[in-house]
Structures are given as structure tokens and as C-alpha cells.
Copies of this chain bind each other. A is one copy, B any other.
Amino acid sequence: MVPVVSIVGKSDSGKTTLIEKLIPELKRRGYRVGAIKHDAHRFEMDHEGKDTYRHFHAGADTVVISSAEKMAMQKRVARQLTINELVEQFVNDVDIVLTEGYKSADKPKIEVFRSAVHSAPLCTDRDNRIALASDVDVDVSVPRFHIDDAVAIADFIETTFLKK
């Protein structure tokens, strides 16, 4: 099973920005990286009018578009798939997966906390939080990194999950 680390935090804490820095840092080190985002709303990935959009909105259960460089897929599901199901079926060809969100799943979590936006972190010690990335010093029982220090956080991810 591919190791999974969840990047969690309250809304607007900077989860996407941190992931956006971690991915190239991990890629630079030679790892293949997957990213999974939890969506609680109704996302619309495709562009209205495109052929794939028309196929999907005509009722197709799954649509795929494939080129020599990449492929994309949309699939209707009967229920929210778990992280493990998504990784096993669709992201099994990478070295590590970062998820954005999925606080309630049981994967190890790095919390992003910005005191400029929120007064307290999201997680408690029961949330399997393995590190905190924050803009201020916080008294926590796990390693703490500066929110902008993607190199140190990538070091931590590498040591914890990739060089065991």
C-alpha cells in the first residue's frame, strides 16, 4: 500500500499552498507523488461544452479522455470512496500520496495552522496528527515546522514514510 499523509487544517489555513510546495520538493527528490482532494460540495472539473462534458452530462457512468501526455476521468459513484479505495484503484503507481482534507479518516495528518486566520488548531491529540505546520510557535506534542518551510516538512515526510 502506498503511504498516505493527509494535509488538514481549517478553511483558508493554507493547505493547498503547502501541498503546492511539497509536491515539487518531493518530485525533486525523485519520488512519484499523488494528490487526493476531498470535496464536500459538488465539484465540476470539466468545461461546459467540451466533448467529455457532453458525454458525462448525457449520463455516462464514466468518461475518459486520453492523450499521449495525460489522461483524465470522471466517474459517478454510489458513495464517497475511501482514501484506500481511491489509492488502490487509481493512485497505486506513486511513491506517496498527499491528501488535502480527510480529517476524519485514519491516515497520519500534518495540520496547517495560521494564527493570522484562526485562533486555534483544528486537530486534537486524538486525530493522529504527526506534525504541525504553523506561522507561530505552538506548544504541541508533535514536531512543529514553519508553515513556509516546505523543505523541512518534505524532509520529515521523507524520513517518516519513504526511507523506512
The interface-forming segment of A32-40, A109-117, A124-132 is: A32-40
What distance in Å separates the Cβ of A23 from its nearest Cβ neighbour in chain B? 4
The interface-forming segment of A48-56, A133-141, A151-159 is: A48-56
Interface residues in chain A, defined as those with a beta carbon under 8 Å from any beta carbon in chain B: 16, 19-21, 23-24, 27, 32-43, 45-47, 50-52, 54-56, 58-77, 79-81, 86, 90-91, 93-94, 100
What distance in Å separates the Cβ of A11 from its nearest Cβ neighbour in chain B? 12
What distance in Å separates the Cβ of A6 from its nearest Cβ neighbour in chain B? 13
Residues of chain B within 8 A of A54, CB atoms compared: 16, 19-20
Residues of chain B within 8 A of A39, CB atoms compared: 65-67
Q: A52-B45, A65-B39 are in contact. Are A70 and B60 (CB under 8 A)?
A: no
Going nearest first, the 4 A-B pairs with the smallest beta carbon separation are A35-B55, A23-B58, A39-B67, A45-B72
* Interface residue SS majority, chain A: mixed
Query: What are 14 A-to-B residue pairs whose CB atoms are below 8 Å?
Result: A19-B54, A33-B61, A34-B61, A35-B52, A35-B55, A36-B65, A38-B67, A39-B66, A45-B45, A51-B100, A64-B86, A66-B77, A72-B72, A75-B90
Residues of chain B within 8 A of A43, CB atoms compared: 50, 65, 67, 70, 72
Question: Are A74 and B70 in contact, with the CB atoms below 8 A?
Answer: yes
Residues of chain B within 8 A of A34, CB atoms compared: 60-64
What distance in Å separates the Cβ of A161 from its nearest Cβ neighbour in chain B? 16
